Structure 1
Amino acid sequence: MTSDHRSVVRRSAPPESATRPLGTPLSPAVAYWAPDADALDAIYEGGAAGFTYGREGHPNWQVLAEKLDWMEGAAGGVLMGSGMAAVGAVFLAVLKAGDHVVAGDQLYGRSLRLLNEELPRMGVSVSLVDATDGAAFAAAIRPETRLALVEVVANPTLRVADMPAILAACRARGVALAVDNTFTTPRLYRPLAEGADYVIHSVTKLLAGHADVTLGYVGARAPEAARRVYDISASWGLTPAPFDCWLAERGLHTFDLRFERAQANAAALADRLAALPGVEAVLYPARPDHPDHNRARAICGDEGGYMVSFRLRGGRAVANRFLRAAEHLPFAPTLGDVATTLSHPASSSHRGMSPAAREAIGITEGFIRVSVGIEDPGLILPEFEAAVAAAGAAAPDPAPAPAPAGGMAAP
């Protein structure tokens, strides 16, 4: 058979059309076809818009990144394969051997592992400080401190960082501040507008919102800082797949609606849990009994977000009874889904900490973190009531043996 330009193995140009698709097209191409070497030079040197190789960027990345940049007031935000890739990229972009990091001591468990285990191995020293104590945070800054990392609302304890004091201390000492804004989202707090240098998101969570995407994002206040993060991401191969970016953009379209409903449900759930026998404490920033309530109001106004944590009286046995009884509330290592999910930090996200270290920040064996979804509250509230009643109140049982080194951390 004679081959010609119509051979099925030849690449075809997109069909011409006077119209354009209403939805963003999915672009899974690995590479992009340039007409000549000069055109490729123009793209790499910034003289022309375009794409080259999928690891260096693709259309679905750009569409999603531009929307997140707008939400956070960022310059040239970078998308990556996960939230932890985003945290790691900031470390790689800023730090070198001999540098020092100050970070909140109540962070997501895998972030703590990165700080406690991986950075020291690379010659970077770390100080973990209570981020609710701005004076202590400032006092931990050294001449060699290059970076600070905080979560506005800590995962999973929901303590609220003293952001004004931390921002002022970092600014006065020339320390770059990175803020993990996953729990708060741009709806409650915009770190770059307040003076932070980097904002980090696990887009996997409420931004994408359907538990079918794994993505991270870093936005920067300065274009040169964003470019440095981009170069790190491309060189270390942290780039996300087009399909995940496409799914996340689709999810982002309903972000405001989902946030409003989940937050209203979270406020109602926190109030209901606080009235239940067997619940020792409820943590929700918008409640007056939250230890950082006044600070939360100053930072986020009257909004409390979509996360609720609470402590059951008793230990692991009570928590297990609660989780088994909550059969329609998935016990799953994620958050930010449209459906309500439960987490037990002592056995998942913070299993790498010793029992004593967990207890010191309030993570008991009876501690439950709730990512509140958008269901009808008439479904959610009775399910929690029934599960708490089924768990019962008990004296604390013996702590389980410490988790083996290298155990997995969940979100």
Structure 2
Amino acid sequence: MSDDRRNVRPETLVRRMPLAEGVSRPVVTPIQPSVVYASPSIDTLHAQYEGRETGYTYAREGHPNATVLARKIDAMEGAEGGLVTGSGMAAVTAALMGIMGAGDHVIGGNQLYGRSLRLMHQDLARFGIATSVADPTDAEAVRAAIRPETRMILLEVVSNPTLRVADMEGIAAVAREAGVLLAVDNTFTTPRAWRPFEHGADIVIHSVTKLLAGHSDVTLGYVVAKDAGLQRAIYDFAVTTGLTPSPYECWLAERGLYTFPLRYDRAEANAAALADVLAGHPKVKRVLYPGRDDHPDRARAKALLGARTGNMVSFEIDGNEAAANRMVAAAPQLPFAPTLGDVGTTLSHPASSSHRALTPDARADLGHESTGSFRVSVGIEEIDLLISDFEQGLAAV
């Protein structure tokens, strides 16, 4: 060991050194993993907590990478003050639990994401919050479900896995008349296709994990309320319960946003082409895609979303679960995974994943009758390669 190494004072090694500043700046947002932030004085700390100064204190209450990501999604949604959380379900939970309390009632769409439905059916009741579900394609069904104690309606614009399109304009009118908050999970549609605040929503939620980040390497959520008081309640609940996002994952998600419009448009074009090919295949009984004229909600999709039809396709093979299993095995290059929004196409089987807890009758009530049904999250591959992959799998049916 050199004399220089032996003569280093130990206390110097643990002293925090500020980064040297220069006339240039980084092109890429730096990752700032610090859990704590030092303030120059007690007065400054008071000013931060009271909103007179901007700064960070403890990462559970916010950190720079989460702020950068939140502001970018805010801009996409036409919002202000959004909050990034540790997952999409953390965002759903913060919206529900941060605003509602014992004695309140929430109405959910009957085809919400499976964990959202579980939260409503099994968890909220333990905190005295009543729940019910209604068909989101029927505004009058939602109106009929409203009670005097109803505080919120929670919907997705396009449902999973049957890709039904909600009557968002009608339900927004019902919510306004009743004085009920309208929360929209915009994960499937994204602000590229639909911006809920422009159509009467009060709260917008995202699983950033999916299309926004787009690479299956982060788990994050986002939630924003139009009213600043409601947003503060959501923030306080999220901070208290530790629904904190990782700086590194926020950094990755911000990186993903740079290519989001390109990815979305390419995946949407691929989905439209794949849906048409599947619809003409002799081993496919049914295809559900909002861009096709045979979709049950095609007129509403055109009125609501215009030319945007999304990257999700559902289809049913002419066979049972055993046949479906053969198809999966015959096309190993199509990742069989219960996710969506990746740059690569993924295939999922709702009867064995997202909807496995439902009885066959319950699945039939939702329009998802068969164990031969698949949901496809279409990616950005070359379309000819993608079609070839599906033809290879279907040949085994």
Q: Residue 275 of structure 1: which of 260, 276, 280 is its match? A: 280
Q: Residue 259 of structure 1: which of 248, 264, 270 is its match? A: 264
Looking at structure 1, the residues matched to 94 and 323 of structure 2 have their Cα atoms a distance apart, in angstroms, of 39
Find out whether 1:105 has 2:110 as its counterpart.
Answer: yes
Q: 2:394: which partner in 1?
A: 388
Q: Residue 223 of structure 1: which of 228, 244, 248 is its match? A: 228
Find out whether 1:371 has 2:377 as its counterpart.
Answer: yes
Contact 1:75 / 1:222 at 8 angstroms: preserved in 2?
A: no
Find out whether 1:175 has 2:163 as its counterpart.
Answer: no
- Which secondary structure state, in structure 2, belongs to the residue aligned with residue 199 of structure 1? strand
Q: Residue 159 of structure 2: which of 154, 163, 178 is its match? A: 154
Looking at structure 2, the residues matched to 22 and 302 of structure 1 have their Cα atoms a distance apart, in angstroms, of 35
Q: Residue 248 of structure 1: which of 250, 253, 271 is its match? A: 253
Q: 1:11: which partner in 2?
A: 16
Task: Decide which moves more: 102-111 or 351-360.
Answer: 351-360
Find out whether 1:24 has 2:29 as its counterpart.
Answer: yes
Alpha-carbon shift at residue 273 of structure 1 (Å): 0.3
Alpha-carbon shift at residue 389 of structure 1 (Å): 2.0
Q: 1:70 is matched by which residue type in structure 2?
A: A
Q: 2:136: which partner in 1?
A: 131
Pairing 1:310-329 to 2, within 5 Å after superposition: 310-329=315-334
Q: 1:190: which partner in 2?
A: 195
Looking at structure 2, the residues matched to 350 and 167 of structure 1 have their Cα atoms a distance apart, in angstroms, of 28
Alpha-carbon shift at residue 312 of structure 1 (Å): 1.2
Find out whether 1:239 has 2:250 as its counterpart.
Answer: no
Q: 1:89: which partner in 2?
A: 94
Q: Deviations over 1:269-299 (max 9, x none)?
A: 0000000012111111011100000000011
Looking at structure 1, the residues matched to 227 and 79 of structure 2 have their Cα atoms a distance apart, in angstroms, of 8
Alpha-carbon shift at residue 251 of structure 1 (Å): 0.4
Looking at structure 2, the residues matched to 194 and 182 of structure 1 have their Cα atoms a distance apart, in angstroms, of 16
Q: 1:120: which partner in 2?
A: 125
Alpha-carbon shift at residue 95 of structure 1 (Å): 1.2
Alpha-carbon shift at residue 359 of structure 1 (Å): 2.0
What RMSD in Å do the two structures reach over aligned CA positions? 1.3
Q: 1:42 is matched by which residue type in structure 2?
A: A
Contact 2:98 / 2:238 at 8 angstroms: preserved in 1?
A: no
* Identical counterparts, % of pairs: 59
Q: 1:337: which partner in 2?
A: 342
Contact 1:94 / 1:147 at 8 angstroms: preserved in 2?
A: no
Alpha-carbon shift at residue 6 of structure 1 (Å): 7.2
- Which secondary structure state, in structure 2, belongs to the residue aligned with residue 257 of structure 1? helix
Q: 1:313 is matched by which residue type in structure 2?
A: D
Alpha-carbon shift at residue 56 of structure 1 (Å): 0.5
Q: 1:38: which partner in 2?
A: 43
Q: 1:218 is matched by which residue type in structure 2?
A: V
Alpha-carbon shift at residue 349 of structure 1 (Å): 1.0
Find out whether 1:207 has 2:221 as its counterpart.
Answer: no
Q: Figure out how many residues of one structure are paired with residues of the other and give that number.
A: 391
Q: Deviations over 1:387-411 (max 9, x none)?
A: 11211xxxxxxxxxxxxxxxxxxxx
Q: 2:280 is matched by which residue type in structure 1?
A: A
Alpha-carbon shift at residue 3 of structure 1 (Å): 7.8
- Which secondary structure state, in structure 1, belongs to the residue aligned with residue 13 of structure 2? coil
Alpha-carbon shift at residue 306 of structure 1 (Å): 0.5
Q: 1:396: which partner in 2?
A: none
- Which secondary structure state, in structure 2, belongs to the residue aligned with residue 7 of structure 1? helix
- Which secondary structure state, in structure 2, belongs to the residue aligned with residue 55 of structure 1? helix
Alpha-carbon shift at residue 91 of structure 1 (Å): 0.8
Q: 1:144: which partner in 2?
A: 149
TM-score, with structure 1 as normaliser:
0.93
Alpha-carbon shift at residue 122 of structure 1 (Å): 1.8
Q: Deviations over 1:356-392 (max 9, x none)?
A: 211221222111000000000011011112211211x
Question: Segments of 4+ in structure 1 off by > 4 A?
Answer: 1-6
Find out whether 1:289 has 2:315 as its counterpart.
Answer: no
User: Any unmatched runs of 5+ in structure 1?
Assistant: 392-411
